[in-house]
Amino acid sequence: MNKKRYAGLIVKCKDKVLLCKRNHEGSFPGMWSIPAGKVEDNEKTMDACKREFFEETAIDIDDVDIEFVGLVPRTSRDGQKTKGFMYVYLYNVDEEIMPDLENAIDGDEHSDCGYFTENQIDPRSTGTHLTKLLKIIFQKN
């Protein structure tokens, strides 16, 4: 069975990263994560990342450079089975950019957004694998 592919974007501004809180109706309810979604058939992961970011934030990043930084396993709710992998990209910005959840196509997937420092990130609310990757990103500076 083929594993599902997802793509997501870490937006980093100085010593903080953008996280969005998942709504209580979809996958990973109430968890803080990065804007991300499924990679369509025959779609490049970078293109999927940019598309999903726009659909969830209403911020167009088609013309910006983003860097692949790693893979995060997507597991079942009990953490016992790997369902797929999320290809994670990084976008460094000089000023915080805030998602427009009200006007984004899939903005309702999130209930809140904010920027967080490394010390504010808790693996219980972001998941162990994403937290590990975020720590690596923070330590690159």
CATH code at position 114: 3.90.79.10
Residue 39 has pLDDT above 60, yes or no: yes
Q: Report pLDDT for 79.
A: 66
Q: Report pLDDT for 141.
A: 62
Give me the domain span that covers residue 24.
4-139
Q: How many structural domains is the chain composed of?
A: 1
Range with the lowest mean pLDDT among 2-6, 8-12, 32-36, 106-110? Answer: 2-6
Average of per-residue pLDDT across 35-50 = 97
- Write out pLDDT tens, residues 65-115: 999 999 999 876 666 778 899 999 999 999 999 999 999 999 999 999 999
Closest of 79, 49, 69 to residue 133, by C-alpha: 69
Is the CB of residue 93 less than 8 Å from the CB of residue 12? yes
